[in-house]
């Protein structure tokens, strides 16, 4: 069994899709904890309702001291001994001090077809660029923002009249397909990139 920790900052819709898939037959992963950097994250209650233990490490008391925050994350994770960490809307950049010891054991989903549009406002940036195709990417986590080996991508067409919100909604549907599918393979040791059509 592969023990999986899921990090969230908000409502946790991708987290829910991961937890639901881990509950299905044949999955090598099992959730050991859902951790958030904010106690008000809506995803915490969802995880608890699904029977998954939760933890909170608030980043705010640490100010700009990322090393101290990450030491607190380490301490919170230690009792659960996760084999993998999935970032699912976790809105804190992690440093090499946290990511390097976990190289190959942390994955993230990002709402663009990386390497395009690292960072925020990806849907607006795709529209501004006149892209005909947009989507999402699951990748291994490194200390570099939205970097690391690509494990999967799902594409969506950009439609006439799309706004950032309408495009985001269609991409999110694909995120909920792609992330669980990649985690299922990754937890079983398969790192072959997966590419989904919309």
Catalytic positions are: 110
Element (H, E) at 48: helix 42-49
- Give the integer Cα–Cα distance in Å for 9 and 69: 15
Distance CA 35, CA 87 (A): 10
b or e along 25-53 (b: 16 or more beta carbons within 10 Å of the residue's beta carbon)? eebbbebbbbbbbbeebebbebbeeeebe
With 0-12 CB in 10 A as exposed, 13-18 as middle and 19+ as buried, what is 130? Answer: exposed
Give the number of other Cβ atoms within 10 Å of residue 67's Cβ: 11
């Amino acid at each position: 069994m592969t023990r999986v920790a899921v990090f969230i900052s908000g409502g946790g819709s991708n987290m829910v899709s991961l937890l639901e898939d881990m509950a299905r037959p044949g999955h090598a992963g099992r959730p050991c904890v859902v951790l958030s950097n904010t106690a008000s994250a809506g995803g915490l209650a969802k995880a608890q309702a699904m029977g998954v233990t939760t933890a909170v490490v608030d980043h705010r008391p640490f100010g700009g001291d990322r090393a101290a925050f990450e030491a607190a994350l380490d301490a919170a994770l230690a009792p659960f001994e996760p084999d993998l960490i999935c970032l699912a809307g976790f809105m804190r950049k992690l440093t090499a001090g946290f990511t390097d010891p976990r190289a190959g054991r942390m994955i993230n989903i990002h709402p663009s077809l990386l390497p395009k549009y690292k960072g925020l406002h990806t849907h607006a940036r795709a529209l501004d660029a006149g892209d005909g195709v947009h989507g999402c990417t699951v990748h291994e986590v490194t200390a570099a923002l939205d970097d690391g080996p690509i494990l999967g991508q799902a594409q969506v067409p950009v439609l006439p009249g799309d706004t950032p919100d309408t495009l985001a909604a269609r991409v999110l549907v694909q995120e909920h397909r792609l992330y669980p599918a990649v985690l299922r393979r990754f937890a079983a040791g398969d790192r072959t990139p997966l590419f989904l059509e919309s």
